[in-house]
Amino acid sequence: MFTENALAIFDQVIQQYHIADDPYQEFQNPYDGKTEVLNHLLYRKCWIDTVQWHYEDIIRDPQIDPVAALTLKRQIDASNQDRTDMVEYIDSYFLDQYKEVTPKATATINTESPAWGVDRLSILALKIYHMREEAERQDASLAHRAACQTKLDILLEQRHDLSSAIEQLLSDIATGDKYMKVYKQMKMYNDDELNPVLRGQK
């Protein structure tokens, strides 16, 4: 199943990241971008999410230097752009995979594309990893660990439900019961012509 493979790759990414546990560590993708395209994209996608997860932790430090915080905000912005780009790359992969499928006359469109479901699955993998850490943290109170275990159980259920929904969507696309229609991002804040603040600097 697609989601089983994706989750295995996400776990691989998260484990690899936490060996150094440093958002500035060197990135190396173990999957070839030409012969293992989907795995390559999934690995890169989750790595971006994992690094950004830790950026978001750092920037919430109340003692962070304001200059460092601004630099980090720029890095988060760039990471968000990379994240969106990767979603589009993954959707392009699926569009190519199902390009020969003729949608049925009764086919409907989904509220989100397959890759945006994958995006949520990647974030869930990170939530589960870190919530499990909290549920097992020996220096935390029993009440804290119990509360985190309850949240972890919900996250695991959510992962199961989301995985099932993604599998069903891919199946429906393959049989022509659903069709894909991907809208490219139209972000305005990064564009020199669309963001009035940036436009005013030109």
Residue 83 has pLDDT above 70, yes or no: yes
pTM of the model: 0.91
**Angle at which helices 2-20 and 114-135 pack, to 10 degrees?**
50
CA distance 100 to 144: 52
- pLDDT given for residue 191 in this prediction: 67
What's the CA angle centered on 111, arms 105 and 114, to 5 degrees?
Answer: 90
Averaged pLDDT of the chain: 94
The proportion of the chain whose per-residue pLDDT surpasses 70, expressed as a percent, equals 93
Task: Over range 38-55, report the average pLDDT.
Answer: 98
**E strand or H helix at 127:** helix 114-135
Across 106-111, average pLDDT? 96
DSSP string, 11-60: HHHHHHHHHHT-TTSPP---S-TTTSHHHHHHHHHHHHHHHHHHHHHHHT
Rounded mean pLDDT, 22-51? 97
% residues pLDDT > 90 (the chain)? 89
- Check residue 41 and give its pLDDT: 98
Q: Where are the domains of the chain?
A: 2-185
Average pLDDT over residues 112-134: 97
pLDDT at residue 188 above 90?
no
- As a whole number of angstroms, the distance between CA 127 and CA 46 comes to 12
